[in-house]
Amino acid sequence: MKMPTVNEDVNVNRDDSVSSSVKYRAHSTLQNASVGQRVQVQQIISTPAFEARLQSMGFVPGVPVNIVTKQGKSMIVEVLRSRLSLSAEAASAITVKVS
């Protein structure tokens, strides 16, 4: 079966054929974004405490984020006029869509 791209609707049957029984939407995470790309926060998928921490840093649904640089497993992003360093774990918890 073809893998969905970001924001592509896909329907899957139990036998893995494409149809209309189960519908899901594939999401990309901040970790998958490319340097120079501008994305928009959709959701944070983590524990309530970590979600609250990321939200206090400005990662709330609808907020644009610019990917400044990636080095190793960390990245620097610009959110709400601030530059922040995020670990791969933190960036993977933030689902985004391309702006």
Answer yes or no: is 35 within a domain: yes
By residue range, what is the domain housing residue 73? 28-98
This prediction's pTM: 0.73
List, for residues 33-87, the tens digit of each pLDDT value.
999 999 999 999 999 999 999 999 999 999 999 999 999 999 999 999 999 999 9
Read off the DSSP letter of residue 88. Answer: H
Answer yes or no: is 61 within a domain: yes
Q: How far apart are CA 6 and CA 47, in angstroms?
A: 24
Q: What is the CA radius of gyration of the chain?
A: 15
The CATH number for 43's domain is: 2.30.30.90
Answer yes or no: is 69 within a domain: yes
Our CA dihedral for 34, 69, 78, 98, rounded to 10 degrees, sits at 0
Higher pLDDT, 18 or 88: 88
80: left (phi over 0), alpha (psi -120 to 50) or beta: left
Answer yes or no: is 15 within a domain: no
Per the CB < 8 A criterion, the answer to whether 41 and 61 are in contact is yes
Number of structural domains found in the chain: 1
